[in-house]
A and B are shown apart, each in its own frame.
Chain A
Amino acid sequence: MDPIEEIDGNSRRALKDNTQRTSAFLRSFAQKAQRKPVNEAVLDEAQPPKQEDSLDFSSEFSSQDMGLDSQAESTDRLAWEELLDDDDWLEDDEDQDEAEDESEQQQDGEESEAEQLETSDALENTDALRELARGQQHPPMESQLGFSWGTVQPKSEAPIPKKAEGPTTEGAARSEPEKAEPGVSPAPKVSLPEAHRPSVDLKPIVDTVPRLRPPAEPLAEAQHLKAQVPDELANLANLLIVSEPSTPGYSECVRLLTRFGQGALRLCVKQRVQVKIYTERDFRTEPDLLSFGFGADEIPVDGAYLVGSRTCLIDRRCLETKPRFFHPGLLYLAHALDHAQGGENFSSRKAPAVRACFEALSQEDFEGNFVDELAATDPVRYFARSVAVYLDRDDCLEPFWTHKDLQEYDRAMFDYLEYLFARFSA
């Protein structure tokens, strides 16, 4: 046999049994309700009137389970068994049902007449009891709640509570939106930091006092570009430098750029890094620097890196002379490389090696672990400063640290830079 048909048959059989039981039970309940003496409340007047709960079948089940020997219950049980055996009533044959009902009515004719008389008396008694009970009823719920049921009134007709005059509380002031005059847009509440607020007019700084910087010495005439730099690297460096080749310090800038290697320069070209050679006056008139709100004594000295435009600004004097402590050209080109390597952000921000080195040095229990104050600021500056030290080749008069000092004082960072630039050159 098909298991599906078997399951279907079983389920249909179970459904049929349930239907039989339910209908038989309802029928027996109706019969019993007719036979039940309804004047029990009249006999016991002292007891309060008890409402009949049609959903309370507990007495039925208990009497059936307990097997009480009353005449009515025995007839109910017989009717139940007869109904279970008889399947004809399931076949929607109304004529047969009507005939059976008629025969039953004829058989029970005498009993029904007597019962009707009893029920009419019982109903009269129950009406009397209800009238007695009305005197003890609670007042209606509407009067208790203080309103009457009815249609919902429109809101406009409801009285609007007046606002309390005088100073309002802070919470109320927050909840109410500010009223704006017609035609006038509300002023923005967001206030930018003063340093990053765009100035209305970017006036150049006319301060003629030169910025304080360590003294430097003129460069020796040892920089012969073609003798020191391969053509491939020089071409890549030329792609990065935006300034004219005739600008003083251009050849020195090319020489510094080639220190980074071919791979690093290609990465910078790919990320559209720009290098500009500026005079001190150009720093004072640079719109990007002025838009950040730098004052006359806050303009960067020797160089800067504009993060948004990936632009290195290098002071021309650093390329024409020999800097004293470190070369800003190497420092800001290292920032550009770091930015190009990281994509949107600086790679040193998320590089675990750089962060670990920075934190290890920060936790040293003596001063002088960082090369200088710049390196101790954050991992980004620490990386750039370390790169500048790593690529330094006698470019400064009195370097804080030399290439060898980095190896001795910060061995972990030195090893990381060795690996990094070996990868670039590969």
Chain B
Amino acid sequence: MMLYQYRRSDKGRQKGEFPLGSLDWDGSALQLKVRDRTLRERIRDHFQQSFWVPLPLGDEEHVLGHTWEKLEPGDEEHFLEGVRRLPQLEVILMED
């Protein structure tokens, strides 16, 4: 999957025109190919931290609540959560 810039514009954030590199999960490790060294380091650090994920509890008819789950690096669930938070780094991941 290809990485694109998620740049600011007058109408909010928009996808960049050209890909910045590629990012994949091969089942055990991260496959990152980005030419920009700074961006590559930032993405690598991003995927090396653990993520706190709020999970919904209850339903709209009775009670609405949430709980927390901590995802550690090393599995696909953590990778997907890291992909969801890539816009914080001003990049997004899209299919080819």
Contact = CB atoms under 8 A, between A and B. Distances in A.
A196 B63 CA distance: 10
Contacts of A305: 63-65
A257 B57 CA distance: 23
B93 interface: yes
A4 B61 CA distance: 70
Interface in A292-326: 292, 294, 298, 300-308, 324-326
A410 B8 CA distance: 12
B68 to A, nearest CB: 5
Contacts of B62: 196, 292, 306-308
A372 B63 contact: no
Given A288-B63, A289-B63, A381-B64, A372 B54 contact: yes
Contacts of B53: 372-373
A84 B96 CA distance: 103
A214 interface: yes
A304 B60 contact: no
Contacts of A213: 68
A245 B87 CA distance: 41
A307 B63 contact: yes
A259 interface: no
Contact of A332 (B55, B64, B94, B95): B64
A365 B94 contact: yes
B43 interface: no
Given A301-B68, A365-B95, A346 B60 contact: yes
B83 A300 contact: no
A325 B69 CA distance: 13
Chain A, interface size category, equals: 35 or more
Contact of A214 (B11, B12, B68): B68
Contacts of B88: 400
A306 B55 CA distance: 17
A397 B55 CA distance: 19
Interface string B46-58: 0000001111111
Chain B, interface size category, equals: 20 to 34
Contacts of A381: 56, 64
A309 to B, nearest CB: 10
Interface string B2-28: 000000100111010000000000000
Contacts of A346: 60
Interface in A361-400: 365-368, 370, 372-374, 377-378, 380-381, 384, 400
Contacts of B92: 366-368
A302 B65 CA distance: 8
Contacts of B40: none
A212 interface: yes
Nearest to A326: B54
B35 interface: no
Nearest to B15: A366
B29 interface: no
A212 B53 CA distance: 11
Contact of B63 (A292, A301, A366, A374): A292
B67 A301 contact: yes
A377 B65 CA distance: 12
B44 interface: no
A367 B84 contact: yes
B52 A300 contact: no
A384 B92 CA distance: 25
A407 interface: yes
A367 B93 contact: yes
A301 B66 CA distance: 6
Nearest to A401: B88
A409 interface: yes
Contacts of B61: 307
B30 interface: no
Interface string A45-69: 0000000000000000000000000
Interface of B: 8, 11-13, 15, 52-58, 60-70, 80, 83-88, 92-95
Interface of A: 196, 211-214, 288-289, 292, 294, 298, 300-308, 324-326, 328, 332, 335, 346, 349, 365-368, 370, 372-374, 377-378, 380-381, 384, 400, 407-411
13 contacts: A211-B67, A288-B63, A300-B57, A301-B65, A304-B63, A307-B62, A328-B66, A332-B64, A367-B83, A381-B64, A384-B64, A408-B12, A408-B13
Nearest 9 CB-CB pairings of A with B = A300-B65, A304-B65, A411-B12, A368-B87, A305-B64, A367-B84, A368-B84, A214-B52, A366-B92
Given A214-B52, A307-B63, A377-B56, 9 more contacts: A300-B57, A300-B63, A305-B63, A305-B64, A332-B64, A370-B84, A374-B54, A407-B12, A409-B87
